[in-house]
Every structure is written in C-alpha cells, then in structure tokens.
Amino acid sequence: MKAADGPLTYFSVEEPREIPKSKVVSSTDQVILAKVRVLGRPAYLVGVDQSGQPSHDSPREPWAAWLQVLDVISGKRPERDQIDVTFGGGDDLYRSYARGPSTPRQLAQEYFVAMYEDHFGFILSAFL
C-alpha cells in the first residue's frame, strides 16, 4: 500500500495500474477507483478543545476532504456525486505523506482515487 520509506499518496494524476487494497477490506472488489475533483483543501480534524488544550477525543482518521466524483472506473458508484472522505492509514498517517491538492492550480485538476466504504463513510486508500 505504500513504499517503505516514501510518502503516502492518495491522489494520482495518472490512472493507477494496480488498485491499492486496504488491510480492512477483504477483496479489491470492495475498492472503488474513481476520477474526482477535490472541492477545497483537505482539512485537519484534530484541534484544541474549549480550554485551548489539545483535544483528547481524536477522530479515527485526522484528515478529511470533500470530493466531486466525476467518473467511476471500477467498483460501485457512490449514491451521491459529492462525498466526504477521510484518509485511511491509521498509524501510518502520522508519517510524512502527501495529503492532497491544496493550491488553486492543484484543486483545478482531476485525480484518480481509490476508496472503500465502511460504516463510518468513505475512506481513501493510499497508492504506492
């Protein structure tokens, strides 16, 4: 799912040759490969509480993004064209990785993403 010493990448400008498989899904049939546009910079969901101290209730995945699904290459199409996603990876998320497009030029591009859906919602899988 990731290079041993390299960054995690969730957005690819080229269609990937292999669909990444998360450890939590049983087969690549459950993974959706889609062409998307990112609707705004990815958001960091961990912040401070009302006292100004770091929050003790951290979300399962600390990064999220809002995507416009343009096309589905493989897998089941999401019911909505605009979806919230979190960045899968668990402990690997705290390593150095590419979080996604953030400049106006990057946000104007189309990307390929791999994702799966669980009872929490859509979760991005990292590419090599």
Asked if the structure places residue 69 within a domain, the reply is: yes
Structural domain includes residue 2:
no
In a domain, 64, yes or no: yes
CATH code assigned at 87: 2.40.50
* Per-residue model confidence as pLDDT tens digits over 90-116: 544 444 455 688 899 999 999 999 999
Q: Is residue 89 part of a domain?
A: yes
Closest CA to 107 of 36, 24, 44, 20: 36
Contact 112, 10 (CB under 8 A): no
Residue 119 lies in a domain: yes
Q: What is the pLDDT of residue 49?
A: 59
Amino acid 55: pLDDT: 61
Q: Look up residue 88 and give its amino acid.
A: G
- For residue 41, what are the contacts with CB-CB under 8 A and spacing of at least 6? 100, 101, 102, 107
Expressed as residue numbers, the domain containing 113 is 8-18+30-45+60-125
Q: pTM here?
A: 0.77
Count of domains forming the chain: 1
Average pLDDT over residues 3-11: 62
Judge whether 1 lies within some domain: no
Instruction: Answer whether residue 55 is part of any domain.
Output: no
Residue 112 lies in a domain: yes
